[in-house]
Amino acid sequence: MVRLVDATARGFGYLPASLSALLLRIAVAIPFWRSGLTKWDGLQLSPGARWLFEHEFQLHLFGETYTMPLPVLSAYLAAIGEILLPILLILGLGTRFAALGLLLMTLVIQLTIPDAWATHHLPWAAMLLAIMTWGPGRASLDHALARWYRRP
């Protein structure tokens, strides 16, 4: 049994870390991208997104509920961030900054929908922190650009 466990563990060592990093970036980008698509109606902010930020979304802080500050601006920033940041994350361009932006967005979402912390926000935060800690891996534009700039 010990040999089986050891052989399996050695086998996992052959998986390229760049593949794991790419899959991690894709996995965390997808829910944000899908959410971002619902906020746009062509090149305009969708009426539904605007309404949600103006009337439905509230911040839950210290046992109190507050209206979303600057709801139209918040809606535009969320809509732009949920489209742009996942694209950057998947491409691996400015990856750590894109992950930081999505982590900050996750924190705001947590304040808006506090009951989803275990099923959504905690896994997203863990994946984003892993990307920020270990970087995008070799399958990224960040890696390619770093190699190009280091050439003699």
Ranges of residues in the chain whose predicted pLDDT is under 70? 152
* Coil vs helix vs strand at 123: helix
Alpha-carbon Rg of the chain, whole angstroms? 19
The reported pTM is 0.87
User: What pLDDT shows up at residue 152?
Assistant: 65
Rounded Cα distance, 80 and 101, in Å: 11
| Rounded-to-integer distance, Cα 78 and Cα 38, Å | 11
The owner of tokens 């593949």 is: 19
Distance CA 78, CA 111 (A): 14
Pair type for strands 58-61 and 64-67? antiparallel
- pLDDT tens string 76-117: 999 999 999 999 999 999 999 999 999 999 999 999 999 988
Which tokens sit at 17?
Answer: 């870390």
The C-alpha torsion from 117 through 121 and 122 to 124, rounded to 10°, is 170
